Amino acid sequence: MKPSSTISSFRWLVFASLLVILAGLWLWRDYRGILANADRQQANVARLLETYTTHIITNTDNVLARVIDEVRDHDILGAGADRRWPLFVEMAKQLPAKGRLWLYRADGSAVMASHLRHSTNNANDREYFTAHRDRADIGLFIGETIIGKTTGRRVFNLSRRLETPSGTFAGVAMAAIEVEAFADLFNPDCPLDRAGHP
């Protein structure tokens, strides 16, 4: 083999090796960029979900506080129920996500729901009800995801204890928020304001 041919082959080998190395470095940089971008997107989704969850919890608790005021001021658990039910329906429309309001007496029987004036529903076996019945110091109770008894939809419940003027257990005000509300957050057609609220 001629020396010039060997040198030429060596040059081509070096050139090809450099091309492979450069391509590998480019692919590695591209791979690292994709991973970094995926990390940023995951962090953004986590922040959005945290903001949205906080928004739902805070505003649902505000609605429950209004329900408690109504119970205290207008005897919704008793004679005032029929008269105040339309207002109860309007309060449910203020929930920050798809859901329903419920009001239960101390025995667990339903006084009303925002979608149903009269119900035979009883909550005395539900976690949120027993928690409020057994402890006065819980405050806002956020329950596990369950299947709603009347809707058959997956919900999680936020609830507050109702008390008599003497401080004894009088029942529970509860908001059942549909888990679907969180799926809607990732719907590209879901409008968000600057704070990330739908």
Q: What is the pLDDT of residues 136-186, one digit of tens each?
A: 999 999 988 888 777 788 888 999 999 998 999 999 999 999 888 777 666
Backbone phi, psi, residue 76, to 5°: -65, -30
Tokens representing 147 are 């299947």
For the beta carbon of residue 138, count every other beta carbon within 10 angstroms. 13
Q: Does the reported pTM lie above 0.75?
A: no
Nearest to 161 by CA among 153, 152, 170: 170
Q: Coil, helix or strand for 198?
A: coil
Contact 129, 161 (CB under 8 A): no
Contact 167, 136 (CB under 8 A): yes
Sequence letter at residue 113: A
What is the distance between the alpha carbons of residues 64 and 61, in angstroms, rounded to a whole number? 5
Tokens representing 162 are 């109702």
DSSP state of 149: T
Q: What per-residue confidence (pLDDT) applies to 153?
A: 81
Q: What per-residue confidence (pLDDT) applies to 41?
A: 76
User: Which domains does the chain carry?
Assistant: 44-184 (3.30.450.20)
Helix axes 3-74, 81-92, angle to 10 degrees: 160
Instruction: Give the 3-state secondary structure of 157-191.
Output: EEEEEEECCCCCEEEEEEEEEECHHHHHHCCCCCC
pLDDT tens-digit map of 9-36: 767 777 777 777 777 777 777 777 777 7
Give the chain's mean pLDDT. 82
Share of the chain above pLDDT 70, in %: 87
